[in-house]
Amino acid sequence: MPPGGHEPNEDPELPSGHLDAEALFQRHAKFVARFLTRLGVQRQEIDDLVQEVFLVAHRRGGWQPGPAQPTTWLAEITLRVASSERRKTGRREARVNLDDADAVTDASLPDDRAAANESLRRVERALADLSLDHRGVFVLFELEGQSCEEIAAGLGIPVGTVYSRLHKARADFKRSYEKISGGSR
């Protein structure tokens, strides 16, 4: 038997519900990449940081069933990896690219597409103005559809903190979006 404790062809999801890093990667790599994008990570850094997230997941022994879902558990790791990367590379402006996050418009007329693209740019800029902790909760709740309880369990913080961060993120996002929209051409 190999050092990992299971045969290479064995299903990575054990009967206990445990998911190893390989199974997590196969099922949730797109989520992690999309979340990193929405956190403002530059496109050229996404692949490396996705790998880093799953290396951390591997070092932690994979996901164990509990209060956190695999996606919110991975979101906590992703936030830490993104925060660490931001500290290493300096505090350059984080750009959130919603086009890369599967938010493509199906507007058919050129004027409609231009207006939709401009609106997306405003959203991107407003998201970039949020702190990483607030942006993470905002994205998980508003864009990924996670409940506050799931977010709290995944991030390892009290649910009240999630509500507080979400409330502040919404207010800051609204204020920033209105300022950007009021100052737009």
Position 10 in a domain: no
CATH of the domain at 44: 1.20.140.160
User: How many domains does the chain contain in total?
Assistant: 1
pTM above 0.75, yes or no: no
Position 74 in a domain: yes
Instruction: Copy the structure tokens of residue 141.
Output: 């709740």
Q: What domain range is 67 assigned to?
A: 21-182
pLDDT on residue 110: 64
Position 12 in a domain: no
CA dist 110 and 94 (Å) reads: 28
Position 13 in a domain: no
Position 123 in a domain: yes
CA dist 26 and 131 (Å) reads: 29
pLDDT in tens, the chain (185 residues): 344 433 333 334 444 678 888 888 999 999 999 989 888 888 888 999 999 999 999 999 888 888 888 898 999 999 889 888 877 766 544 444 454 444 444 445 666 667 677 777 888 888 888 998 999 999 999 888 889 999 998 888 999 999 999 999 999 999 998 898 885 54
Position 7 in a domain: no
Position 9 in a domain: no
Position 5 in a domain: no
